[in-house]
Structure 1
């Protein structure tokens, strides 16, 4: 990866990375589960699916409310939401929970962004299903190496006037906003979700999408963590007004995203009086800094500490 409408109420259990859309016959109550939910997208009226991960213990603790984590993937994981949905397993918290079998206590929701004509982008056109990680019966697969880079570690520069800089990348998650809202509402209704602990995170294109959704739906999330996607100053006022807790991650040796562009948005939040903002510049990391972030525990622990004072 280098750079949602009526829902059918059918839950399909997925074992490993199978692309089959028919129900698997068994589910183990003690173990984590990965489900597919069917929906018809408001964008093109096409049938699609998205992943819902249920953590270990969900089936036994029927009265427990679980935090929900919505993950927005990057550009390289776009697809048709059917046989291509498994590409969303390559990166992010779902990779950690399902493939690496980590006990992450979240209901993780992972939709797939429409292609919107980007199937000709080389790293999408040339992608292979071999890159989709398998959930092993025993053990876990080796983690992929970080992207190599010869870019030197240098200080950030002043970005200057951002008024001429577009706030979003082309054909991003903003086009799926209504689908995302219906997805969130459906998961909220069908599963034991704690409405005071709904979280949002995303990488690259999904980082930009996280900023956008946080700005357009500022009361929806208890915390937001965009990774290697900067937020434009024009998006900051609703976020600051809602005082949404933020943890923003940038990569110092990012070859895809200009690290200098993170600072104007963060400064705009400060000017607006928003003081619940963490900003981590991982100077040694490249664009795939999300591997380091999601492989650790700090972000998940921080998210779990964030609560809305009232459910929406």
Structure 2
């Protein structure tokens, strides 16, 4: 009986100690915050802002942190002036996960905004831009988190078995991240000058047009990134040589029922990587999903753990 009592007291003591340590860490840890940095775009000479997510605990150590550069897509109304419109980039992706869903992602997350380039003007302006409202922007709650974005239902046949299609000429794509690619090293240098960034662990990911932008920017500046993760965005064979030479780790994602970017469009890039002797790439197809694969990808843990497993070679 005495032994049981002693063991019980010891167990209580351990639990109290653990609770105290947890409470102490919680009280000491600095909170996550969302900030902005301003830069001048090489494209038009105008000042733009980008969001910088600073993770919880950043102020409690002098250690450098991994950085994740995120490029939004083309078709859901996230574009804007990089000032008043910047909050539209909170709609999805790692920034949405970290800031809106309050996940403890151990990255400095940088999220710029693609310009409109007149796409919001005239009779041909798409309704997803002209009809958008600031009310649709996800917001961080003081207590708890808002309901998660749910994937769409895609009444589209599985497309994975179709033969490889001819890629659309890159010149035929609408203006996208390629037009502001030169802004990205400028932005990265600016952030690295203001925050403690681990230069050996800088990563790049983007969705749809941002996925294509991921390929483009990584192929132009392969020395800047430790790994890349394009989501529902294909690359062109002519972009692969710099990535192969840099031995860039790559993880691509597609939707098996994606009518916008069919799975087959990814294979020309993979074939070229194989020809160049580069096999450090993954290709994951979410067979049941359409174009909005990013909802599942960024809500999981795998993509973040995989990125963090790589350092610049």
| Residue from 153, 158, 163 that aligns with 1:158 | 163
2:33 alignment counterpart: 33
Query: Matched residues in 2 for 1:186 and 1:293: separation?
Result: 28
Query: Matched residues in 1 for 2:275 and 2:249: separation?
Result: 16
Aligned residue-pair number: 280
1:85 alignment counterpart: 86
Query: Matched residues in 1 for 2:172 and 2:78: separation?
Result: 18
| Residue from 240, 244, 256 that aligns with 1:236 | 240
Structure 1 unaligned regions, length at least 5: 1-27
Q: What is the correspondence of 1:215-226 to structure 2 with a 5 Å cutoff?
A: 215-226=219-230
Post-superposition offset of 1:98: 0.1
SS of the aligned residue for 2:181 comes to helix
Q: TM (normalized to structure 1)?
A: 0.86
2:106 alignment counterpart: 105
Q: TM (normalized to structure 2)?
A: 0.86
Query: Matched residues in 1 for 2:135 and 2:43: separation?
Result: 29
Post-superposition offset of 1:156: 2.7
Contact preservation (8 Å) 2:178, 2:217: yes
2:309 alignment counterpart: 305
Query: Matched residues in 1 for 2:118 and 2:255: separation?
Result: 28
When Rg is computed on C-alpha atoms for both structures, the one with the higher figure is 2
CA RMSD between the two structures: 1.5
Contact preservation (8 Å) 1:167, 1:234: no
Query: Matched residues in 1 for 2:78 and 2:159: separation?
Result: 30
Post-superposition offset of 1:146: 1.0
Range moving further from structure 2, 271-280 or 153-162: 153-162
Query: Matched residues in 2 for 1:155 and 1:228: separation?
Result: 13
Query: Matched residues in 2 for 1:168 and 1:184: separation?
Result: 28
Q: Deviations over 1:31-78 (max 9, x none)?
A: 1010011222222222221100000000111x2110000000011311
SS of the aligned residue for 1:149 comes to coil
1:212 alignment counterpart: 216
2:143 alignment counterpart: 138
Contact preservation (8 Å) 2:257, 2:291: yes
Q: What is the correspondence of 1:230-269 to structure 2 with a 5 Å cutoff?
A: 230-269=234-273
1:15 alignment counterpart: none
SS of the aligned residue for 2:110 comes to strand
Structure 2 unaligned regions, length at least 5: 1-27
| Residue from 178, 183, 187 that aligns with 2:187 | 183
Post-superposition offset of 1:82: 0.7
Structure 1 runs of 4+ with >4 Å offset: none
Post-superposition offset of 1:305: 0.4
1:66 alignment counterpart: 65
Post-superposition offset of 1:189: 1.4
Q: Deviations over 1:82-131 (max 9, x none)?
A: 11000000010000000000000000000001111221122112112121
Query: Matched residues in 2 for 1:141 and 1:223: separation?
Result: 31
Structure with the larger helix share? 2
2:287 alignment counterpart: 283
